[in-house]
Amino acid sequence: MEQKDRDNRLIRTALKISAPLHRWLYRTSGGRVGTNWANDRMPVLLLTTTGRRTGKERTWPVGYMRDGDSYVIVASNGGLASHPAWYYNLSAEARVEIEVGGERLRMQAATAEGAERAQLWAEIVERYPNFTKYQQGVTRELPVVVLRPSS
C-alpha cells in the first residue's frame, strides 16, 4: 500500500472517530465547546443534511466563514481526493440546518461558481491558509458552499 493511501485511510478514520465526539461536545455545551478548529482558529458550525440515499439526517462539524448573513463552508474533506458525504447530500437536497453556538438556523445551500467562488476562495485562504494546502494536494476543485437563510 502506498504512503498516500495509508495517509488517506488515517484521515478518514480520524474524521469518523472525531466527528461524533465533536458533535456531542458542541451540543452538550450549548455550542461553547468545539466552536473553533484548534490549528487555525476557524469557527465551527454543525451542518445537518438529509442523506441522499437513506433520507436520514446526518450532522457534521464544519469550519465556516461569515459573509453577511450567510455562512461559507468548503468541502475539503480534510484534503482527501473525494468530496465529503455531506457535500453529496446537500447537492441532492439544498435545504439544510446549521447550529452556530446554541442557535439552530434553516439554510439553503448553493455551490459558489465563477466570480463569486473566486472572491470567496481568496478570502478563505487569506484567513485560513490550510485550505491552500488541501487544494494543492488534490486534483478536484474544492467546492465553496454558501449557506443562505431560508425563508
Q: What percentage of the chain exceeds 90 in pLDDT?
A: 62
State the pLDDT confidence band at 12, using cuts at 50, 70 and 90: low
State the pLDDT confidence band at 116, using cuts at 50, 70 and 90: very high
User: How far is Cα 34 from Cα 24, in angstroms, rounded to an integer?
Assistant: 9
User: How far is Cα 109 from Cα 93, in angstroms, rounded to an integer?
Assistant: 8
**Beta strand pairing status for 57-63 and 65-67?**
unpaired
pLDDT tens, position by position, 42-65: 898 999 999 999 999 999 999 999
**Cell 468548503 belongs to which residue?**
74
Q: State the pLDDT at residue 79.
A: 83
- Residue 110's contacts (CB-CB under 8 Å, 6 or more residues apart) are 94, 145, 146, 148
The 3-state secondary structure of 13-81 reads HHHHHHHHHHHHHHHHCCCCCCCECCCCCCEEEEEEEECCCCCCEEEEEEECEEECCEEEEECCHHHCC
User: How far is Cα 148 from Cα 69, in angstroms, rounded to an integer?
Assistant: 7
User: Tell me, which fold does domain 3-149 have in CATH?
Assistant: Pnp Oxidase; Chain A (2.30.110)
Tell me the average pLDDT across 68-73.
96
